[in-house]
Structure 1
Amino acid sequence: MKVTIYIPTKDRKDILAKAVDSVLNQTYQDIEVIVVSDGSTDETENYLKQKSAIDNRLKFFIKTKSEGAPAARNLAIKHASGEFITGLDDDDEFLPNRIELFIDYWTFLKEHRITPSCLYTPDLIYRNGEQIAISKKLGHVGHEQIFEFNHIGNQMFAPKSVFIEAGLFDEQMPAWQDMEFFYRVLKLFGKASLLDIPTQIMDDTPRTDRISIKAKNRLKGAYSRFVLQHCQNSPRDAQLLYLQMFSRYYGIRPDLSDWVKFIRLGFWPKGILALFVATLRF
């Protein structure tokens, strides 16, 4: 069973090379890697040409105009020849047995007549080259739980048909593209299952290109689009989603307008307490 791994990238040739090597060096060899260069102006194209000449499992697309990571992912997914698909960010890395473990666990579940919508794993969190934590995740995740937190993370493993039938990534989402896509997958195909072995190194080193992703205006735009599409008739789900903007990860402090908007959605003591804690935290 072939597995396609997609990697969107832009102007990060050196760290991209580490990501690509971590995939090509998997113990499970029936793979293809599709890198989409999203308007890169560095030496990314030359690197990909040279690397793919050495290993024909590496394929790539060069986009002269940047259209964002969701569009890059979608391009790779549409051209994937693998029966299964997963992704990798260009600043992260796979441990050598990640794909093999995914295939083995999927096969094991299938033999026991269990078909999850997708698989996901804990992550090894690194900062400045050193491991600082291992993420803890739920054993199973349903779509309702996505409102409270993105319990899956930034990557999932599933048949290509799941990606296609769920509608691919929303290219208009200014943030939370992974989380919104996972929500649609879980709602359409059922709960996701955890492979409880950390096999991905996730880089959390502070960088200037992460500031815009955590910008409040982008998060508010993503929140509004998420609510419009998925929870217009559920104020409590909208409140849960709203609270995600003020997690420690984003470092954003609620202001008066946030309080007004939150309370207008309904009186929820537990949620008000959470918003109060976030207000005092920073």
Structure 2
Amino acid sequence: MTQNSPIVSVYIPTYNRSDLLKRAINSVLEQTVKDVEIIVVDDNSPDDTPQVMAELMAIYPQLKYFRNSENQGACYNRNLAIRNATGRFVTGLDDDDYFLPNRLESFLTAWETKSPNAIALFDNVKIKKSEHDMESLSCPKSVDFDCLCLRNDVGNQIFAERSLFSDGVEYDEKLKSWQDLELWMHILSVNKNKCFQNIEKYTYIFDKSHPHERISSVNVDKHLNSFNYIKAKHALNGKNEYRLKCQAYGYNARSINPITLLVDACKSQSLYVVLRMSKYYLKNNKGM
């Protein structure tokens, strides 16, 4: 990439994980693309995050830091960061994850040749389960609204022009789970016949190896509450309603009646859902 590459804004919400935050920030600073701003929103962390940020900002002028006076939640923090972004493009990073050095360059390169129907980009993901155990997950080449109802193959981050996040297109602060999924659905619902395109690389490390609780660690009841909220917000019915409901159940098959699970899977009219839910049923009911 040349020095004239479009600027990218990377937003990082954080809470009480200064050690992991430093790793996340460094992974952005070490990108092959240097024309980047990093926006950190601190949700009133009680640890040394303010001191860590003060030290880093004294060295790196591309850092922006916002600190809440009280805990506001991840959605509020992400929205605050995006509203204060100045880059042509924006993308996110959770404070306990990190980028590989070629992530932003890969997205910028792919943007130049993406499909005309693609309104945002995403990629495959690597999951760090332990220091020596890394799992690679491949995702579909493109994802539309119907696909999201079946499964969030996009994951928790997209790469898109900042102008996409306007006119109320933002994270829904009423949701306790599935905030990323609902935002992707919202974007595709207001941009008809568009999709998210996979650049088919592995440039994001989703870290499950650390002892801290992940933001996404929630139970099935929260997912079912989110299902009901999203169903009403997006007026889902028929196939997509059942697909999304099965997706909620899929997080914890032990928590529901297995007969209900399989009936809803069949109603989704998707062989994938039927097989997936059947797998959960068999796995969790051995010896019964």
TM-score by length of 2: 0.87
In structure 1, what is the equivalent of residue 137 of structure 2? 135
Check whether the contact 1:11–1:41 (CA below 8 A) recurs between aligned residues: yes
1:257: Cα distance to partner? 9.1
1:64-213 matched pairs, under 5 angstroms: 64-109=69-114, 114=116, 116-165=118-167, 167-189=169-191, 190-205=194-209, 207=211, 209-210=213-214, 213=217
Report how many residues are paired: 276
Match for residue 53 of structure 1 among 54, 58, 64: 58
In structure 2, what is the equivalent of residue 236 of structure 1? 239
In structure 2, what is the equivalent of residue 24 of structure 1? 29
Match for residue 224 of structure 2 among 207, 220, 226: 220
Instruction: Give, in whole Å, the separation in 2 of the partners of 1:206 and 1:50.
Output: 24
1:254: Cα distance to partner? 4.4
Question: Which has the larger displacement, 223-232 or 210-219?
Answer: 210-219
Q: State the identity %.
A: 31
Check whether the contact 2:262–2:278 (CA below 8 A) recurs between aligned residues: no
Check whether the contact 1:254–1:275 (CA below 8 A) recurs between aligned residues: no
Check whether the contact 2:242–2:268 (CA below 8 A) recurs between aligned residues: no
Q: Which runs of 5+ in 1 are unaligned?
A: none
CA distances 1:169-217 after superposition (whole Å, capped 9, x unpaired)? 0011110000110111123331111111111111123756249832122
What secondary structure sits across from 1:56 in the alignment? Answer: coil
1:146: Cα distance to partner? 0.3
Question: Which has the larger displacement, 168-177 or 131-140?
Answer: 131-140
CA distances 1:98-136 after superposition (whole Å, capped 9, x unpaired)? 111111111233xxx735210001111111223421111
1:277: Cα distance to partner? 3.6
In structure 1, what is the equivalent of residue 3 of structure 2? none
Call closer, same or farther: CA 1:278–1:257 in 2, change over 3 Å: closer
Check whether the contact 1:243–1:274 (CA below 8 A) recurs between aligned residues: no
Q: Which runs of 5+ in 2 are unaligned?
A: 1-5
Check whether the contact 1:3–1:32 (CA below 8 A) recurs between aligned residues: yes
Question: Which has the larger displacement, 160-169 or 40-49?
Answer: 160-169
What secondary structure sits across from 1:54 in the alignment? Answer: coil
Check whether the contact 1:246–1:253 (CA below 8 A) recurs between aligned residues: no
Instruction: Give, in whole Å, the separation in 2 of the partners of 1:149 and 1:72.
Output: 25
